[in-house]
Structure 1
Amino acid sequence: MSLRGRMLAVLAITILASSLAACGSSAPTTLLGRVESAKKLVVSTDPKYPPQSELKADGTYEGFDIDVANEIGKRLGVPVEFTTPDWTAITAGGWGGRWDISVGSMSITLERAKVLDFSTPYYYTPAQFAASTESGITTLDGLAGKVICSGEGTTYDSWLHGTLDFGTGEDLGDPPAGVTTTTLPTDTDCADTWKAGRFDFEGWLTSITVVQGALDAGLPLVAVGEPVFYEPLAVAADRSGLSTTTFMEKLNGIIADMHADGTLSGFSQKWFGTDYTKSTAP
């Protein structure tokens, strides 16, 4: 090869290397950058948690959290794509970029904050006991010494075991005396067990909105007592992934606007028949 040819070859290799380096450096380094680059927002949610979120037979999603997620996407200027991993996989962190955020009525707790970053709350729900009609129980005292069902990895299970901590110093009270616990993959599996005619446990602890949804569906249960605590619920992002700082700043602005312009209150009235967007009982 001539000297000129060798020089041209070296130049070509240099240009190629520079191009590859430029491509590498253009990869998103933040969560906001990834969303903007992908031109979509991938949201994890629960496919079986009505009226918050539900995957319908036609493949579409509906519910309060679905409306919230779609509105966030709209205000970010990107469409929303939903995915439905197990709840325990969401709360454990380490998502590996499989989805961008969780909009799934997740409570902000100190334990979860070790692996997840949270937005400001977009609503607050009361935790409510229910009992199967088969049990004949109608009061909280009636649940003493009974078996209580809750979803795996939920704040309800943590509260029943005395480990729930929102980081506010608030006294969250105690369960009825002597209760034992059992867990199923999701909250609604507890009610579905009663629906199937199996009564291995007498009580159920979940969100008041989920209890009301089960009652509206005609499931064999009754709400028992007053709410036992209120949960601050937020959007979550994975701390082990790309930097979430700029995304959360933008998201918190969107949530503040949705509170201020009544969007969140409207969604709450639509799905729950009351406004759960305030931090005190409605």
Structure 2
Amino acid sequence: MIPTSRLLALLVSAVLVAGACSTGGAATSAPPAESPTAVPAATPDPDDLLALVKTAGTIRISTDPNYAPQSVLKPDGTYEGFDIDVANKIAAGLGVKVEFITPGWDTITAGSWGGRWDISVGSMTILADRTKVLDFSVPYYYTPAQLAATKASGITTLDGFAGKTICVGDSTTYQYWLEGTLDPAIKALTPPAGATAFKLPTDQNCAEAIQAGRTESDGMLTSNTVIEQAIGAGVPMVKVGDPVYNEELAVAIDKSGPPHADLVAAIDKIITDMHSDGTLKALSEKWFGVDLTTKVGE
């Protein structure tokens, strides 16, 4: 038998050994994992068009002064329309003012702007050929291309335009469709057999020609928004058939100008945010009476 005093001594020794082992284990435990290192934000390019625009405090935007309801120059020298509102929202998002420039449409789509303006907010369709000379933002809205016939022509169907003349704006997708050169990536109906294009500088000039009683064409092809506006203003014509195709419309920037990756990214974010928060939908309903900010089929 072990004496009581001896037993107590053994117990005290065991406790001390266990404590020492426990302390030693804690000292050799693995250190906590380090937090991942944050990726630094990209440094803005001081030579990018975004930096140049911000330094100037103004962004120069090309638009059409006669393309209601997208854009129109008012008698007081100010502009209004859907594209104008979008342009002003983009400028506000960039923290700068707007100066509107009004070159010809064929000049805008040809690229090589020579620094005369910074971007185009003019309902430009994204086309493969245009991407050779222009860069584009994400689309800000979508429009159907619509045929309309003069009331005098008596045409009521798409086939009724066979062998007839249709007025279109120069260097537009409407001209390309009639001539069979529209970007094949755009799903479109087949043009009427033998139909030919009568070109004027802008789509609105076609409506004005019909309103004036000119007889060079039997109708016109343009955005449904312009057709609706013209008919509402009393132009003697009627819509014919369903839209012949749909267009994705975006902001354009000249490839031959200053670097502009930062500006494109900034504009893309502004447009995406306006899609998300309903701003573009509200502007579309204001000017067109319908939401054209969702791609057809989605």
Structure 2: where are the runs of 5+ without partners?
Answer: 1-44
Which residue is equivalent to 2:33? none
> In 2, distance between residues paired with 1:178 and 1:51?
31
Structure 1 residue 262, shift from structure 2 partner: 0.3
- Aligned AA for 2:163? G
Structure 1 residue 145, shift from structure 2 partner: 1.2
The 8 Å contact of residues 187 and 245 in structure 2, kept in 1 or not, is answered as: no
Which residue is equivalent to 2:10? none
Structure 1 residue 141, shift from structure 2 partner: 1.8
Which residue is equivalent to 1:9? none
- Give SS of 1:223's match: strand
Which residue is equivalent to 1:174? 190
Which residue is equivalent to 1:256? 272
The 8 Å contact of residues 102 and 235 in structure 1, kept in 2 or not, is answered as: yes
> In 2, distance between residues paired with 1:242 and 1:88?
21
> In 2, distance between residues paired with 1:113 and 1:214?
31
> In 2, distance between residues paired with 1:96 and 1:37?
19
1:87 to 87, 105, 129: 105
- Aligned AA for 1:267? L
> In 1, distance between residues paired with 2:93 and 2:60?
15
> In 2, distance between residues paired with 1:192 and 1:281?
33
Counterparts of residues 1-282 of structure 1 (less than 5 Å)? 29-165=47-183, 169-280=185-296
1:36-93: CA deviations, max 9, x gaps? 1110111000000000000011101000000000000111111111010000110011
> In 2, distance between residues paired with 1:106 and 1:49?
12
RMSD over aligned Cα, in angstroms? 1.4
The 8 Å contact of residues 145 and 178 in structure 1, kept in 2 or not, is answered as: yes
- Give SS of 2:251's match: strand
Aligned pair count?
Answer: 254
The 8 Å contact of residues 179 and 196 in structure 2, kept in 1 or not, is answered as: no
1:152-194: CA deviations, max 9, x gaps? 000110111111116xx34323111111111000001111111
The 8 Å contact of residues 186 and 245 in structure 2, kept in 1 or not, is answered as: no
The 8 Å contact of residues 147 and 222 in structure 2, kept in 1 or not, is answered as: yes
The 8 Å contact of residues 119 and 251 in structure 2, kept in 1 or not, is answered as: yes
Structure 1: where are the runs of 5+ without partners?
Answer: 1-26
> In 1, distance between residues paired with 2:51 and 2:187?
40
Structure 1 residue 244, shift from structure 2 partner: 1.3
TM-score relative to the length of structure 2: 0.83
The 8 Å contact of residues 188 and 210 in structure 1, kept in 2 or not, is answered as: yes
Structure 1 residue 281, shift from structure 2 partner: 6.2
> In 2, distance between residues paired with 1:107 and 1:281?
18
> In 1, distance between residues paired with 2:187 and 2:127?
14
> In 1, distance between residues paired with 2:281 and 2:87?
15
- Aligned AA for 2:243? P
The 8 Å contact of residues 134 and 199 in structure 1, kept in 2 or not, is answered as: no
Return structure 1 stretches of 4+ with deviation > 4 angstroms: none
> In 1, distance between residues paired with 2:47 and 2:94?
18
- Give SS of 1:41's match: strand
> In 1, distance between residues paired with 2:187 and 2:246?
11
- Aligned AA for 1:151? G
1:180-234: CA deviations, max 9, x gaps? 1110000011111111111111021100000001011111111111001000000
> In 1, distance between residues paired with 2:174 and 2:52?
34
TM-score relative to the length of structure 1: 0.88
> In 2, distance between residues paired with 1:145 and 1:228?
17
The 8 Å contact of residues 117 and 244 in structure 1, kept in 2 or not, is answered as: no
> In 2, distance between residues paired with 1:230 and 1:191?
20
